[in-house]
Amino acid sequence: MSRTPYDTEWLPVLKKTSDLKSNACVAPSQPLPAFIRQALKNVHPEVCARYYGCGLVVPECLEGCRILDLGSGSGRDCYMLSQLVGEKGHITGIDMTEDQLKVARTYVDYHMQKFAYKKPNVSFVQGYIEALTEAGLEKNSFDIIISNCVVNLSPDKKRVLTEAYSVLKDGGELYFSDVYSSGRVTEEIKNHKVLWGECLGGALWWKDLLLLAEEVGFSTPRLVTASVITVDNKELQDILGDFRFVSATYRLFKIPKGNTKPCQVMYNGNITGVEDSFLFDCQYTFKVDEVVEIDGELASILTHSRFVEDFSFKPPGGPCGPSGVRPKVSVPIQF
């Protein structure tokens, strides 16, 4: 049988952060909001200790939402998000690793008691991110899907996006962080076990993300943040050649097809943690009570998603902030 990226022998054994040859899997040093830091403190120490993910992906406006975490591991992020969605929301984690799922499931009752919830709002499913419906997840059932440096490990990224689109509700969002390259990586890079373990071997060319998203049916990927990945190992640098890599967070929405007219919006400041200003993506930071003119696709996103109650809308043309409709930015860095 041929080796696949999911074979455990394919990945290098990492015992400490210093074993890494790049900063692709090291969390950026951006301060977390106080309420998220507190939510993380409430997660059981063993769940945190057994969590091998990198960084943290937390979208906004989560209360009451149904969220799916792709590659949930020991469940750290699921239990953190459990507190943010509240007792009326629900978090589902899917992971292929039985040992990690065992840890996650062990502490369901512990966390529900700690959060004073009458019934669990967290569940864990074993399965592959390319086969969400096969794992028993219902179509059109989630408001948000999150993922952090997991999609690059999949050998079939289009299938991942297709399955994500299928289980999202209309107006739902795929909010995920991953590694992207300046071009389609070579077979040598793909098949190098260290580069694969560093999340570089499976990196998607950022332009292919745009193409795949369109083919699947998502809105144009909106870039939120991006940071350059550095490789300090000379041998790996020689293999990578002129390829460059970034860690980038995108948001993709499942919205109706068709043309929506541009409009003006005003943010009302009601989203927890971003009351004064809401960084939606790298182009738009909505300040409370400031009128901003937006393009038709963003207007469709805001009116069909969970953000609809957080904005007021009016036709374009009136007085507004310092800039009008802005050109879309999807490239994570000027390669």
pLDDT at 260: 85
Token readout for 93 is 């984690």
Token readout for 152 is 């690059």
Does the domain made of 259-335 have the CATH classification 3.30.360.10?
A: no
pLDDT at 197: 87
d(CA 92, CA 213): 23
Question: Hey, where are the domains in the chain?
Answer: 8-253, 259-335
Q: Do domains 8-253 and 259-335 have the same CATH topology?
A: no
Q: Which residues sit opposite 67 in a β-bridge?
A: 91, 144
pLDDT at 257: 87
- CA angle centred on 220, ends 185 and 327, rounded to 5°: 105
Q: Which residues sit opposite 32 in a β-bridge?
A: none
Classify residue 186 by its DSSP letter: P
d(CA 233, CA 93): 34
pLDDT at 159: 98
For residue 64, the one-letter residue type is G
Give all strands (DSSP E) within the chain, no chain letters: 66-70, 90-95, 122-126, 142-148, 168-181, 204-205, 222-228, 245-253, 263-267, 277-279, 285-287, 291-294, 311-314
Tokens 């800039």 sit on residue: 323
pLDDT at 19: 53
Full pLDDT tens readout for the chain, 335 residues: 233 444 444 444 444 444 555 666 654 546 788 999 999 999 999 999 998 777 789 999 999 999 999 999 999 999 999 999 999 999 999 999 999 999 999 999 999 999 999 999 999 999 999 999 999 999 999 999 999 999 999 999 999 999 999 999 999 999 999 999 999 999 999 999 999 988 999 999 999 999 999 999 999 999 999 999 999 999 999 999 999 999 999 999 999 988 889 999 999 999 999 999 999 999 999 999 999 999 999 999 999 999 999 999 999 876 666 555 566 666 776 55
d(CA 265, CA 292): 5
d(CA 239, CA 255): 41
CATH topology of domain 8-253: Rossmann fold (3.40.50)
- How do strand 122-126 and strand 90-95 relate by DSSP bridges? parallel
pTM of the model: 0.91
pLDDT at 301: 97
Environment class of 99 (CB within 10 Å of its CB; exposed 0-12, middle 13-18, buried 19+): exposed
pLDDT at 179: 94
Tokens 């991110």 sit on residue: 129
d(CA 25, CA 34): 23
d(CA 20, CA 2): 26
CA–CA distance from 20 to each of 153, 236, 245, 257, 324 (Å)? 16, 12, 15, 43, 44
